[in-house]
Amino acid sequence: MTRAGVWLLGWVWWLLLPIRRSVAWNNLQQAIPGASAHRLRHAVGSVAWGYLELLVGPEVDWRGLEAARGGAVLFTAHLGPWDPCLVEAARIAPLTVFLKVPSSGAAAWAVRRLRMRPGVDLEALPVKDAMEAAHKALQRGRLIVFVLDQRHNAGIPVDFFGRPAWTSAAFAAMVHRHRPRLFASHQWRDASGRLHARAVPLDWSVPEDRTEAIQALTARSQQWIEARVRETPGDWWWLHKRWKRPTQTPHTPPRS
């Protein structure tokens, strides 16, 4: 049933509700030249099906997250049905997450309600003073999660699939300040429709110089995400112009 649902929802988006279809298609072609339209439909259908799974409580084969308890920093990307995997991760470790709120008020309310499930300890950071709140959450022993494949106009340009992509420097600024235990996670849906997610510990050196550290860590995060996209290109999609240059001058990295 899951495979049929993913297939159906992918075609519904492709034919009937092609929201930013051309943007998503161009992104995938720039990342994986020659990727088929089937891969994009599968990725969209898988994410859409994931929100239906949130209604009943998804089963996720999560591994490696227990080691991140007790205060750590983790970055991830919009790979596969990342939202249900994130919700299930919050059953294993208390999460504090940087999340972009949907511009639609109705969509924001619906997503927030779907994420509020019994036994889920998921705290979304406020838009204002988010970094300060994240620092305090880390000190309280929570797992701080960054989703790092979004375009961030106030970020810094680093290479992503061979082209500069403006990426938030907040993750790197936090790692430079606290030198926390560091993890990355990826998630995917297998051929049978089952969800899998893995948290991987990272032994990355952190330069003493703050500017050097921010540049190096942000670049490495994108290299890591790029490698995961290449492994499972049918699990990645994005609906904004990932490589678009910002119209304003990028801001300096957030103070730690």
Which range (50-64, 65-79, 102-116) has the least confidence?
A: 102-116
pTM exceeds 0.85 = yes
User: What is the Cα–Cα distance from 212 to 174, expressed in whole angstroms?
Assistant: 14
pLDDT, tens digit, for every residue of 73-93? 999 999 888 888 998 999 999
More confident residue, 153 or 128: 153
* Rounded distance between C-alpha atoms, residue 98 and residue 170, angstroms: 10
pLDDT tens per residue across span 223-245: 999 999 998 887 888 888 999 99
End-to-end CA distance of the chain: 48
Which residue carries 């996209």 as its tokens? 229
The pLDDT of residue 102 is above 70: no
Average pLDDT over residues 125-134: 85
Number of CB atoms found within 10 A of residue 45's CB: 24
Contact 114, 156 (CB under 8 A): no
How many Cβ atoms from other residues are within 10 Å of residue 166's Cβ?
Answer: 21
- The whole-number pLDDT of residue 118 equals 62
pLDDT tens track for 21-60: 999 999 999 889 988 999 999 999 998 998 888 888 778 9
116-140: average pLDDT:
85
**Any bridge partners for residue 196, and if so which?**
61, 188
What confidence tens digit (pLDDT) does each residue in 161-206 have? 999 999 999 999 999 999 999 999 999 998 888 999 999 999 999 9
The pLDDT value given to residue 224: 97
For the chain, the domains span: 2-235
pLDDT of residue 111: 55
Q: How far is it, in rounded angstroms, from Cα 155 to Cα 79? A: 21
pLDDT band at 117 (very low <50, low <70, confident <90, very high): low
| pLDDT class of 248 with cuts at 50, 70, 90 | low
219, pLDDT greater than 60: yes
